[in-house]
Structure 1
Amino acid sequence: MPNQISPIDRPTILVIGASGLLGRAVAASLFREPSLTLLATIRHPQGAGAKLLALPPENIAELDVLDEPALERLFETCRPAAVVICAAERRPDVCERDPAAARAINVAAPARIGALAARFGAWTLGISTDYVFDGNAAPYGEDATPNPLNIYGRTKLEGEAALLAASPLSCVLRLPLLFGPIADWSESAVTSLVPAVVASARPGADAVGMDAWAIRYPTWTPDVAQVIRDLTLRHLAGKSVTGIRHWSSEEPMTKYDIAQRIAAALGIDASLAPITQPTDATPRPYDCHLDAARVRALGIDYATPFDTALRTVLRDAPQAR
């Protein structure tokens, strides 16, 4: 059906950090929504992630989220009705090595964006993580007490508080391990296992150890993007969407389980060895399952089966072409 809403009348949704794993999916979902106008920001136009962002040039703006004057100019120019913050440092090991840089993007940036959004009357959705919990008392509702084990979890928890304090029209969506269409294998902790799984199937290869201790709930980014779209539309319809919300798939698995499913999807006989004790240099929680009942009670529910989504990723990955 043709779009009957004038572009002048369509609210602008600003997606900050649209070239990343989640940002691309969110931007694509909002761009398809005929009642909205999308503006998606990218930091490196020539980056692999940006090149996968299939949007017209007029829907893309170059932005370093840490550049405060540029951020303010962008808000002045586009005057968004809603903002989705996908820019983040989400690699725990990187956060441990450079806590100051992690805090700059995970804490200070959401605070600035929230303050600008409040000035312009825009609703803001910030993305957080299940790593705000210690993993000892799953499932976790929104009112559960956080206890992050690493700097990544701590900076994301601080970022939640900073955003919610900066704007009364803000919402935090906590998410688990994400996977989706990728720019390269390393972009997700799911697909980052592919090279090792493939290597283990070569003749004479040694078995590859895989974590069989920590439980994860890998969640498909296009599903998350539809959740974010629905929450955005709910706000624009005058229904309150503030505070903390949780979203997660309901398929528990360890990295060892994921590796076995990758091997099955590729049709290879991988040599994998389960590691039943935590070995990561950066502390990670055991089971941070997020209880998403509160969002599902709104009639929002998307659940692409893991194996179905995995086959899509493996088929479409740039390295597979």
Structure 2
Amino acid sequence: MRKILITGANGLLGQKIVNQLESKGQDYIATGRGENRNPNCPPEKYHSLDITLEDEVESSFQKLQPTHVINTAAMTNVDACEDDVEGCELLNVKAVEILWKAAKKIGAHLQLLSTDFVFDGKQGNYKETDEPNPLSVYGQSKLDAEHILTQDENTNWSIVRTIIILGKTPGMSRSNILLWAKGALEKGDALTIVDDQFRAPTWADDLAWACLRIVELDKKGIYHICGPETLSILEIVHRVGKYYDLNTQLIQPIKSSSLNQKAKRPPKTGFDLSKAKNELGYNPKTLEQILERL
């Protein structure tokens, strides 16, 4: 019998994974820092867990005995990672080391969520086998975490790389581009949006489905999971405006270089989804299909 432990269960992806497990009636343990913020997660299924504390992780795994661990917890604010390299290292790398060590002791599979930011964005449409070359502290931290798994002779792991996660859950700690763009356009704000960064926005429910599908099929290795279209950030905002029939006249295109962002972003990512489609039956939603469901 599978028993799946989710870290970062209060986050957008964590809540979506918990909701899908709950609706399937599967055995799981939701964990996170602090209180349970997901109204769909029964209190008895939630455990407070700090994944940066080795003894706490070790004793929790020994007691709860999960067969699979899905690690969605991470420091994902790319500019904040540049300011707090130690904090980024602790949550994105050291914690993965701790989780992997504890998972191996009980023979559990560890699934790590990673990012398109492990690539430099020179070519886009990346395959799982393409050579990473991160440009930021955040991207490097995620690649370092991947190496903990890929360089171990124990292969009981999977890595899911993804791009801009979109969706809505109760008690969200941060917004995402769809909700932000809709809100700003409704208020009639003048917006300056970059037209030289290209991403494939991903519906959180699709990503949660893929994470669980990998577990259900006992797959191992690296999987690229994202939306089906690679669009400029400018086009994403324009399409949100068009979908809700909002005035897009106040949107001005700008170049990334004018933003003075602390972290360097890859100009163009997007993934080749062939492996995910062939092996998992992955069929992601387009931007308009996501907006329909929001």
Same fold (TM over 0.5): yes
The answer as to 2:29 corresponding to 1:39 is yes
What amino acid maps onto 1:228 in structure 2?
C
Task: Classify 1:278/1:196 alpha carbon distance in 2 versus 1 (closer, same or farther; 3 Å).
Answer: farther
How many angstroms does 1:54 deviate by?
1.0
How many angstroms does 1:164 deviate by?
3.4
Of the three residues 156, 170, 195, the one matched with 2:157 is: 170
Of the three residues 8, 18, 21, the one matched with 1:27 is: 18
| Alignment match, 1:264 | 242
The answer as to 2:215 corresponding to 1:232 is yes
Write out aligned runs for 1:302-313 (5 A).
Answer: 302-313=283-294
What amino acid maps onto 1:128 in structure 2?
S
| Alignment match, 2:222 | 244
How many angstroms does 1:53 deviate by?
4.4
Distance 2:31 2:173 in 1: 23
Contact 2:112 2:160 in 1 (8 A): yes
Contact 1:179 1:190 in 2 (8 A): yes
Write out aligned runs for 1:118-267 (5 A).
Answer: 118-165=104-151, 167-182=154-169, 183-184=171-172, 186-199=174-187, 201=188, 207-235=190-218, 241-267=219-245
How large is the RMSD of aligned CA atoms in angstroms?
1.8
Write out aligned runs for 1:87-126 (5 A).
Answer: 87-126=73-112
Of the three residues 18, 21, 24, the one matched with 2:9 is: 18
How many angstroms does 1:261 deviate by?
2.3
What amino acid maps onto 1:15 in structure 2?
I
How many angstroms does 1:177 deviate by?
1.0
Please give the TM-score of this superposition, normalised by the length of structure 1.
0.84
Which is worse superposed, 110-119 or 251-260?
Answer: 251-260
Contact 2:120 2:132 in 1 (8 A): yes
How many angstroms does 1:308 deviate by?
2.5
| Alignment match, 2:50 | 64
Question: Over alpha carbons, which structure has the higher Rg?
Answer: 1
Of the three residues 275, 284, 289, the one matched with 2:265 is: 284
Identity %: 26
Please give the TM-score of this superposition, normalised by the length of structure 2.
0.92
Distance 1:193 1:68 in 2: 40
Q: Output one character per residue of 1:158-193: Cα deviation in whole Å (capped at 9) or x when no partner.
A: 011113345420111111111111445833244333
In structure 1, list runs of 5 or more residues that go unmatched. 1-9, 236-240, 314-321
| Alignment match, 1:316 | none
Contact 2:223 2:276 in 1 (8 A): yes
Which is worse superposed, 70-79 or 123-132?
Answer: 70-79
What amino acid maps onto 1:196 in structure 2?
A
Distance 1:214 1:307 in 2: 20
Which is worse superposed, 125-134 or 19-28?
Answer: 19-28
Which is worse superposed, 99-108 or 274-283?
Answer: 274-283
Q: Output one character per residue of 1:96-124: Cα deviation in whole Å (capped at 9) or x when no partner.
A: 11011001011111111111111111111
Distance 2:293 2:173 in 1: 13
Contact 1:175 1:248 in 2 (8 A): yes
Task: Classify 1:208/1:187 alpha carbon distance in 2 versus 1 (closer, same or farther; 3 Å).
Answer: closer
How many angstroms does 1:310 deviate by?
2.1
